[in-house]
Amino acid sequence: MLHIILTTALLITTMSALAQQAPAPPIVSPEVSADHKVTFRIQAPKATAVKLSGGDIPDNGPGAAMTKNDAGLWEVTLGPLPAGAFRYNFNVDGLSVIDPRNPAISESNNNVWSLVVVPGSDFMDTREVPHGAVAAVTYKSASLNRMRRMHIYTPPGYEAGKDKYPVFYLLHGSSDSDDSWSSVGRAGFILDNLIADKKAKPMIVVMPAGHTSPMVRRAPGATGPNPTEEFVTDLMGSIVPYVESHYRAKTDRASRAIAGLSMGGSQTLNAAIPRLDKFAYVGVFSSGLFNAANQQGPSWEDTHKAELDNAEWKKGLKLLWFATGKEDRLMPSTKSTVAMLEKHGFKPVFIESAGGHVWLNWRDYMNQFVPQLFK
């Protein structure tokens, strides 16, 4: 079989695409050790300062300084890190760079991160259990009048089966994308594990793109289309109808759940509370509604008074679930929203967890929320 080996070598050396890149030295990055320490490396001989950036890596703070060896290889070891998935990039003399040696990535709205998965979690690991499929799906948004992308998880057995399934709409946070929940969020693997362990019902999980355009920071008082309204219109007008006509989806209220983190939590409240006849399960992770001190016009509570006080709708609401970390700066918003909802006769569950505004919490919240659905 030597000739096949030579064949492979010949193919590689003759590929024009490869010829554009200098042969890479055998740098391994990231390297996860048995004790869950992670070593990050980047070859940058001309750089004068390299830092590891990554908001969700515990104790990485403003970014760990990396050190350079004589060959120009920068390196830092962190941890032991908790099990999970962590986004990171390198700051090379002020330039944000993803890891040139790591093909694993997680997409945001305006950029891409490198991704490292630290194993050791029963609920997040890629275990040897039946797996579902996570599809990129292109659909027409009627309200935005263009083709858009979402991700859809179908549970093990879906592709060859005949059953209908309930649907869980799962929204990402500000600056992220429809890829985020299935990459850094590990949503598909969390579902696979919960279903294998018989802790959750098999379900379809729809992960739309919550930003309707490249993210721009809107100044207070800015005019033009409101991004939350644009998204909610797309969700209710195009995404839900697409899923319910293109998938074997159950379409009654008791078979629809919605949740989101941060911006997605606010979108969840904006989508679900005024249409509570459509959703039986509502989750808000690290978020709430806000009443800015300098707001003008009627408050969200005033605007939605009729829906908030609709006793009929409350009867079919099976779960209204909030979770926010004690160190999360959005805790006041969560608390004021929970209090406002209680004032209108809701009985929200409110979990005050440890930690802050990080994916470590959001994956954990999802792992707590999903087993309560569609019972």
Residue with smaller CB distance to its own copies, 329 or 347: 329
160: helix, strand or coil: coil
Contact between 136 and its own copies per CB under 8 A: yes
Exposure on the CB side of residue 277, measured as CA atoms within 13 A: 5
Contact between 306 and its own copies per CB under 8 A: no
Q: Return d(Cα 89, Cα 30) in angstroms, integer.
A: 11
Q: Return d(Cα 209, Cα 179) in angstroms, integer.
A: 8
**Which positions from 192 through 231 interact with its own copies, judged by CB under 8 A?**
192, 215-222, 226-229
Contact between 20 and its own copies per CB under 8 A: yes
Q: How far is the CB of 313 from its own copies (least distance, A)?
A: 21
Closest by Cα among 42, 30, 39 to 73: 42
**Which positions from 168 through 187 interact with its own copies, judged by CB under 8 A?**
173-175, 177, 182
Q: Return d(Cα 277, Cα 317) in angstroms, integer.
A: 8
Stretch 25-64: interaction string toward its own copies, x if CB under 8 A: -x---------------xxxxxx-----xxxx-----xx-
Helix (H) or strand (E) run with residue 359 in it:
helix 359-369
Neighbouring residues of 1: CB distance < 8 A, sequence distance ≥ 6 = none
Tokens at residue 20, please? 């554009």
Selected from 245, 306, 311, 315, the binder of its own copies by CB under 8 A is 245
**Which positions from 271 through 290 interact with its own copies, judged by CB under 8 A?**
287, 289-290
Handedness of CA 148, 149, 152, 158 (dihedral sign): positive
Contact between 4 and its own copies per CB under 8 A: yes
Selected from 197, 241, 295, 339, the binder of its own copies by CB under 8 A is 295
Q: What would the DSSP string read from start to end of 179-205?
A: TTTTTTT-HHHHHHHHHHTTSS---EE
Selected from 38, 66, 124, 137, the binder of its own copies by CB under 8 A is 137
**Which positions from 70 through 129 interact with its own copies, judged by CB under 8 A?**
87, 92-98, 100-103, 105, 107-112, 126, 128
Tokens at residue 208, please? 């739309």
Contact between 305 and its own copies per CB under 8 A: no
Q: How far is the CB of 273 from its own copies (least distance, A)?
A: 13
